[in-house]
Structure 1
Amino acid sequence: MMCDRAVLTLRLVRSFEHRNFKPLVFKDVHLDQTVEEFITFVKQEVSARAGLPPPFKQFDYDTMKIIHQAHGAKTNELVMSLEDDEKLILRDGSSLRACGVANETELAFFKMADYKQFKANPQTEW
């Protein structure tokens, strides 16, 4: 029997170049909701969550990508892998489950324009 609900860790990625991200945990996430529904929920939750600095609350996130699955190998990248976008970026119109999200999945939430710019020139700054 498949589990309908999951615990997901979400990285709010503000800057790929500066490796600036904040992890958040979401419990009891319904896996049969669409990607758009989950993004809307997360944006509302982030804007209201206490303890998050304002730059993270007000950022224009628009895309989610799977970083890591439970019991799977992790990438060496500190923020997220730049590979397998076709397979790992969550597609609009699909359910979380259909995109491969399961219990204890780790996701990145970021702005696609920033990601494309970083992917074209993956240089980090400190």
Structure 2
Amino acid sequence: MDDISDILTNEARPKADSTITVRVIKSFEYRTHRSLVLHHLNLESTTAADLKKTILQTIQTQSPWKPYRNVTLDTFKLYTHAHGSKTTNLIVNLDHDEWIIQDEDKTLADLGFENETEVSFFNRDAYEKFKLNPETKWDP
């Protein structure tokens, strides 16, 4: 067996027991988002539809998510994989529209998810409007 320090974190856990981070986006213009870290997720049996159901249930039942209850969330887009390059946008990739999840019946593993994958979850109409004019209204 390889030394543990030689194993990449995305390969350190089996697909049947992975951790992913979901960036739930409320507003692109104001960069309003909240991360949901899901542990012990079976990527080989969980579909994108199952993931959506889990996230929406969390939003409806846990008090920290109350501000997100009035947002229509309908689209997943891969943000990055472990050890992959990240975009300059802090909450969503504006390029690579092919990373938008089209088939919610596929398993997460079939969609390219692996341990430590990050995915954005948002309203598709708001995303398309933001892409046309990607200016933020929040100044640091």
Q: TM-score normalised to the size of structure 1?
A: 0.89
SS class of match (2:64): coil
Identity level (%): 33
Matched residue, 1:71: 83
In structure 1, give the amino acid aligned to 2:63.
A
Work out the CA distance in 2 between the residues paired with 1:3 and 1:123.
37
Matched residue, 1:35: 48
Matched residue, 1:48: 61
Deviation per CA, 1:46-71: give whole Å up to 9, x if none: 2112323x221332111111111001
Number of residues paired by the alignment?
A: 124
What is the aligned-residue RMSD (CA, Å)?
1.6
Work out the CA distance in 2 between the residues paired with 1:55 and 1:70.
29
Structure 2: gaps of 5 or more residues:
1-10
Q: Which has the higher strand share?
A: 1
In structure 2, give the amino acid aligned to 1:50.
S
Work out the CA distance in 1 between the residues paired with 2:15 and 2:47.
16
In structure 1, give the amino acid aligned to 2:48.
V
Q: TM-score normalised to the size of structure 2?
A: 0.81
Matched residue, 1:14: 26
Work out the CA distance in 1 between the residues paired with 2:50 and 2:15.
19
Matched residue, 1:91: 102
